[in-house]
Structure formats: C-alpha cells, structure tokens
Amino acid sequence: MPQTASQSLADYFCSLTISSLTPDNIAVAKTLTGDYLGVALGGSKTDSGKIAARFAEEMGGSQEATLIGQSGRASAVHAAFANAIASHSIELDDIDVLALFHFSPPVVSAALATAEKVGATGAETVTAVFAGCEMMERASRATNNSLRNRGFHTTPTCGVFGATVAAGILLKLKPEKMVSALGMAGAQASGLMEMYGPSMQKRFNPGPTARNGLTAAIMASMGFTGTNLIFEGERGFCKAFSDDAAVGELTRDLGKPYELLLEYKPYSCARPIHNAIDCALDIRGQMKEPLSQVKSIAMRRHPDWAHYHLNATPKTYHEAQVSLPYSVAIALLEGGALPPQYQNSKLNDPDIRRLSDLVKVTPDASLPRGVSCHMTLETAGGATYTSQIDYPRGSVQNPMTRADMDKKTHMLGDDVIGEAGVKRMLELVAGMDDLPKLSVLMESVSRPKVRELA
C-alpha cells in the first residue's frame, strides 16, 4: 500500500539532521529564533504575557523550561504555552509571505521548551525549528485560502503540526511514533478568526497550539498511538478545514532542499496592514499641507484582505493593532506604528479619530498581490497624493537590514534583561548551531530574580 501523507512526512522529518539543511536554511532558523526571542521579551511585559506566565507557574510540575522575560520556570508544556502567548502579544512576530500565519509562536515556542526539557544541542534545535516551520507551511499550502476564509486561524490550526514535528525531532521520535504524534496533533487542531475585538483573544490562539504539539509528541513517545490518516482521511484535517484542499501539497518535492521564506515586522500591527502604513508614511513624506487639511483617504486593497481590519473606532490597543484606519491615521500623525503608537490613551484622540473616519477601503482585484494597497489622499486645497505598496518593509523583496533587526530586538528587550543581556542573547543566537546545550541561550532571556532585602 502507498504511504499516507503523515507516514511520508514522518519518514522525512525523522531523518533530518543539521547536515541535511542548507546554509540558508540554518540562517533562516537562527534569524527567526532571534526575532522570536526579542518579540517574546517585549510581549512578556504585556498583561496577556504576564497572565500566561502566571498561569504556567501556578500549574506546577517540573521546572523544565524558561518563561521568557520572567524570573520563573515551568514545565515544558506550560512554558511553551506561555511563551507562545507572550510572543504573539505585541503584533511584531514574523509572518509568511502571504500574510496568513505566524511561524514562531507555535513552532519556536515548542522547540525551545522541548530543547530545554531534553538537554538538546543548539544544532538539534536549529534543525527542529526549520523542520517545524516547513511542516507548518506545508499544512497551510494544503488547505488555504479556504481554511482562512471559512473562519479558521491558520497560525494555530496549521501550527500544531509544526510544533509537533519540532518537538518530535527533539524527542528523537521514530517515524511510526511521529505518525502517531501528527495524528494527535490533528485531533487538537483548532483556532478561530473570531478574535478581532477589544479582548486579548487573538493573543491566546498560539498558546494551546505550542502546548498541544509538544503534548502530542510526548504522548507518542510514551506509546500512545494516533491515526495515520489524519490529513487525507474522510474526516481528516484537509477535508474538515478546507473546501478546496490540495493534499499533494503536504508532500510535494519532499526531500528536496526547501526554501523557507519568512518576513519580519517593523510595525506593531497585523501584517496585512503594513502595506497601508507604508503608503501612509510615503504620503506623509510627500505632503506640504498640514494634516488638518486632509479631506479624504481612499484605500484600495486586494480582495484577499479587503474585508478585514476595517474597524475605525477601536476600543482597546488590541483592537487598534488590527485596525487599518487607526494604523493609517497614527502613521500619518506620528510617523510610526510601534508600541508607543498603540496605546489605550491614544484611542480617543480627536485628530486620530478624524483621520481614521476618513479612511475608506474598497476591493481592487487588479492589484498584484494579496496584501497590496493603493492609497489616495486628497486635501481641502485640492492637492492629491498617491502611493502603492506591493512589498512592505520587512518583506523578502524589501527586507529589514541586520541593523534594523538588532535595533528592533534591543527596543523590545533592553528594559527586560538589559542592553548587555540582549547583546549577549543575540551573540548566542548567532552561534546557536554550535551550542553544546540550547539551555545556555534560554538562560540569557530569563529575568534575574530580585533578592528580597532582609
């Protein structure tokens, strides 16, 4: 009988070592890990990050893994849960090129927690991170855009398979046990797009995903068995989550060098909004009149995203980070879109509200990419300014420099572990594939405990 998709995937991923990866693969895994740690440090300061860490500590169990940006530790499954939430709490985590999902909250969270649990090397962890991301992207290609359009959130629904593969590699699962782990991962695939609003809902989604992937791998290592038809079965993942599944995408060119393209965020909001922010910043640089003279702001978006992120009156900064009108307004007014711009104290600012209300979005299928935006701003004096952005800053075609990436990490982490601490962390990431123990890296992102005075 021919192999099922999960059997083929398990055979492939269980055979991987760092020597299987290209230099570009290794560089991608290390860059992703460094960005993830900086973003998780920033996220550790948020209410959602703090609550998740508190939950992890209060659940008890062996103190196997670091809670990033905190002084405590937790069991690996709970550390993966809390760190995934922290890393998704400030909307600065990495993104795939189609802006459908975030790799690192589920995959890197599971990989780093597992690496600490088992005493893995840096090279083993690099391999697990890359493999987990490849698995996650394959699951997305097999099910999107239908999965997203049906209301499922790609990061958790596809991310659980990536988290499982990453953890399974570090637990040294044999192929038959990896198959079972993937089956149990599918049983836990979940996550809804009903997450935009004033609550912390969106922050939560990758937490269970990282935890569930690690749980599936641990259960499989103990002998718990799972189905080998989780992907293509009659009631399997692909048919349950997609109206237009392409099961063959799961294993297409499996075993050939895999090019993993990731994009990184310079702005603290949903990635499909970044094109609009770049348009606003471009026009801001062109304008000669004061912003008080703005009469209209017309934003054309590709139909893939034209009906998302339209709330012009966010009630919390969580909502503002998924609001295109607010983001355009704040970029025009302040020339930035980072955590200082997404604050509850700004939400009722009359100038921001006025500009937000002027933003009108219409679909335009002629735009070349799913995230493309074309902005036209008109002033009371009759001036018209236009900008079209197809590849936003941080994209593969318009990348952030190494200096940009390091500046971002210092901005997020310096007030958590200190400037010297962030510098040390970045140095360890750069040499991650040579670390005899990955735990050395994780020690660098733990906040020192404050000694109580006698």
Domain boundaries defined on the chain: 5-263, 271-389
pLDDT digit string, tens, across residues 307-366? 999 999 999 999 999 999 999 999 999 999 999 999 999 999 999 999 999 999 999 999
- Residue 293, judged by CB atoms within 10 A of its CB (0-12, 13-18, 19+), counts as middle
Note the maximum CA span of the chain.
Answer: 73
- As a whole-number percent, the residues of the chain with pLDDT over 70 amount to 99
- As a whole-number percent, the residues of the chain with pLDDT over 90 amount to 97
Six-digit token pair at 448? 């020192």
Q: Would you state the CATH architecture of domain 271-389? A: 2-Layer Sandwich (3.30)
For the chain, give the mean pLDDT: 96
Residue 450, pLDDT > 60, answer no
Domain 5-263: which CATH class?
A: mainly alpha
Q: Give residue 68's pLDDT band: very low, low, confident or very high (50, 70, 90).
A: very high
Residue 70, pLDDT > 70, answer yes
Distance CA 171, CA 165 (A): 10
Provide the pLDDT for residue 350: 97
Distance CA 443, CA 106 (A): 20
Residue 37, pLDDT > 90, answer yes
Provide the pLDDT for residue 131: 98
Six-digit token pair at 399? 């990348």
Name the strand (E) or helix (H) holding 332: helix 324-334
The mean pLDDT of 148-166, rounded to a whole number, is 98
Six-digit token pair at 370? 């799913």
Nearest to 276 by CA among 377, 379, 371, 378: 371
Distance CA 386, CA 396 (A): 24
Please count the helices (runs of H) and the strands (runs of E) in the chain: 19, 8
Q: Give residue 451's pLDDT band: very low, low, confident or very high (50, 70, 90).
A: very low
Provide the pLDDT for residue 454: 40
User: Alpha helices of 144-205 — where are they, by DSSP H?
Assistant: 146-149, 154-170, 175-187, 201-204
The mean pLDDT of 8-29, rounded to a whole number, is 98
**Dihedral angle of Cα 316, 322, 328, 329, to the nearest 10 degrees:** -10
Residue 453, pLDDT > 60, answer no
pTM for the model stands at: 0.94
pLDDT digit string, tens, across residues 241-287? 999 999 999 999 999 999 999 999 999 999 999 999 999 999 999 99
Residue 452, pLDDT > 50, answer no
pLDDT digit string, tens, across residues 82-94? 999 999 999 999 9
